[in-house]
Amino acid sequence: MNTLNASGLVSLFAQNDGDAVGAGLLAGLAAYIAVVFVIFIITAIGKWKVFEKAGQPGWAAIIPLYDFYVTTQIAKKEILWFILFLVGIFCFPISIVAVVAIVVVNLEVATKFGKGAGYGLGLSFLPFIFYPLLGFGDARYSGGKKKRASDVDEDDNW
C-alpha cells in the first residue's frame, strides 16, 4: 500500500506546470464574458423597443452611457440624474450614487409606461428581463411634460 505523505504531496504538485489550471481559468473567463455579452444583447434589444415606443432613436440603446442619458430623457428627469450616474460610475467609492440614480430614473420610466414601483425595480436590477417585457409588451408611453414649479395652479397653493 502506497501512502502519500506531506512531502509526496508537495512533489506531486511541483510536477504540475499549471497548464490545466490556466486552461480552466481561461475557459471560465470566456464563459463569463459570453454570459455578460448575452445579457447585454437581451437588454439592448429590450431598450431599443422601449426607446422607439417613447419616440427616441432605438440605436441609442447600444451606445454605453448615452443609453442612460436617453433613459433619463424618457423619464423626464433633470440632467442632474445623468450626472450623478456618471459620477457614481467613474468614482468607485461613491458608486452607490449611480445605483440610486439608476433606480430613481427607472422608477420614473416604469411610471411613464403605466407600471408600478416593482416594475421599476425590475428595470433597475433585472434589466435583461424587464426591458424586453416592456419593449415587446403592450405598454404605451405616456411621457407628458415635466412638472415645474411654474406649472402649479394658484389653487394648489393653499
pLDDT tens digits, one per residue of 12-57: 555 666 677 888 899 999 999 999 999 999 999 999 999 999 999 9
| C-beta of residue 131 within 8 angstroms of C-beta of residue 46 | yes
pLDDT digits (tens, 9 = 90+) for 94-125: 788 889 999 999 999 999 999 999 999 999 99
Angstrom distance (rounded) from CA 24 to CA 56: 44
What does the pLDDT read at residue 88?
84
Within 10 Å of residue 138's Cβ, how many Cβ atoms? 6
Phi and psi dihedrals of 55, rounded to 5? Answer: 80, 20
CB 100 within 8 A of CB 84: yes
| Per-residue confidence (pLDDT) for residue 155, from 0 to 100 | 44
Report the range of poorest mean pLDDT among 8-12, 78-82, 88-92, 150-154: 150-154
Cβ pair 143, 105 in contact under 8 A: no
